[in-house]
Amino acid sequence: MPETRQIDIDYVARLARLALTDEEKALFSRQLADVLHYVEKLNEVDVDGVEPSAHAFEVVNVWQDDVPARPLPTEAALQNAPAVRDNMFVVPKVVDEA
């Protein structure tokens, strides 16, 4: 594993839809680099022969049977929406088609 990668703070901010000031960019770059540096301590642990896991607990197959329950009433679903028309959420016209 190479040294901690330089964080492209503009790219990360754009992916997160955050508009940052130059001061914030400097601050968050440093903080994110510190976080990554801290996590990289894990690279020092010998994990040969350990099965990768996304969870700390040996719990699998948590599911329910396919039995429908009651949905949320539409009025409740829409009550916090900034704008509603025809029982749908109004959003700015979407240009990105992908």
Partner 1 sequence: MVSNNISGEYEAVIGLEVHVQIRTRSKMFTRVPTGFGEPPNTLVDPVVLGLPGALPVMNKAALDAIILTGLMFECDIAPVCKWDRKNYFYPDSPKNYQISQYDMPICANGRVEIELPGPSRNVMGPHRHVRLTRIHLEEDVGKLNHFANDSLVDLNRAGTPLVEIVTEPDMHTADEVFAFLTALRQAMVAAGISDCDMEKGQMRCDANISVRPVGQQTLGTKVELKNLNSISGVRNGVDYEIRRQIAALQRGETIVQETRRFDMEALISTPMRTKEEAHDYRYFPDPDLMPVRVDQAWLDRLRARVPELAFDKQRRFFEQYKLPYTITSVLVPDRALSDWFEAAVDGHVERAQAIANWIVNDLLRELAATGQTLADCRIQPSHIAGLVEAQESGVISSKIAREVFAEMFQTGESAAEVIERKGLRQTSDTAELEKWCAEAIAGKPQSVADFKAGNEKAINAFKGPVMKASRGKANPKLVDEILRRMLAEM
- Cβ proximity to partner 1: between 2 and 92 the closer is 92
At 50, the amino acid letter reads V
Interaction pattern, residues 30-69, with partner 1; x per rule: CB under 8 A: -----------------------xxx-x-xxxxxxxxxxx
CB of 95 vs partner 1, minimal distance in Å: 6
| Nearer of residues 42 and 69 to partner 1, judged by Cβ | 69
Report d(CA 54, CA 52) in Å as an integer.
7
Q: What is the full DSSP assignment across 30-57?
A: HHHHHHHHHHGGGGGS--TTPPP-S-SS
The C-alpha atoms of residue 48 and residue 51 are separated, in whole angstroms, by 9
Provide the binding-site residues for partner 1, judged by CB under 8 A.
Answer: 11, 14-15, 17, 53-55, 57, 59-69, 71-72, 74, 77-78, 85-98
